Amino acid sequence: MTRRVFGLAGPSGSGKTTVIEGVIPVLTGMGLSVSVIKHTHHGFDVDTPGKDSWRQRQAGAKEILLASDMRWVLMHELRGAPEPELPQQLARLSPCDLVLVEGFKRQPIPKLEVYRRANNKPPVFPTDAHIVALASDADPQTELPVFSLTDYAGIAHFILRHLGIAR
């Protein structure tokens, strides 16, 4: 199974997650398997303080794998080690047809910029050659393809065409 990677870029609050949520059902409805890597600058914890796995991590475990009949999750504590780059994170994923990447905005992967006028931030596309399209509520002056923020089918089909995935 060939894995293709496509990113979504834009400032916090621009709607990247909402676009991904809208695009995934379109892609999976075409029979594609889709995974997501989301980078966050915020500290986060998927565990519950006081639970066994949380206590084991607090005791110093490097990794905890939680498993049930519904899902599993692997938590890896960096413990001062550098944050892995996108290629290392991609290598950890199970095989799939397409990986959507939210964040990792400086990585050299094709990206759709999600631009919302109300954010009052300048668009990134003029200075990032890896931005190949935009989803926006504005009318940016560009030769790049521009989609409505809610044109999930159009965005999904663009991603597939751009990556050469036939459907």
pLDDT for residue 48: 85
pLDDT in tens, 41-70: 777 778 888 989 889 999 999 989 889 899
Asked whether the beta carbons of 126 and 112 are under 8 A apart, the reply is no
d(CA 71, CA 81): 27
Mean pLDDT for the stretch of residues 93-117: 93
Asked whether the beta carbons of 47 and 73 are under 8 A apart, the reply is no
d(CA 2, CA 133): 23
pLDDT for residue 104: 87
* Residue 78 scores a pLDDT above 50: yes
In the numeric block, which tokens belong to residue 156?
């999904």
pLDDT in tens, 120-145: 899 999 999 999 999 999 988 899 99
pLDDT in tens, 32-42: 999 999 988 77
- Residue 3: pLDDT band (50, 70, 90) is low
pTM here is 0.90
* Residue 1 scores a pLDDT above 50: no
In the numeric block, which tokens belong to residue 46?
């998927």
Residue ranges and CATH numbers for the domains of the chain are: 4-42+82-163 (3.40.50.300)
Edge-to-edge strands, sheet with 146-147: 34-38, 98-102, 4-9, 111-115, 131-136, 146-147
Asked whether the beta carbons of 112 and 22 are under 8 A apart, the reply is no
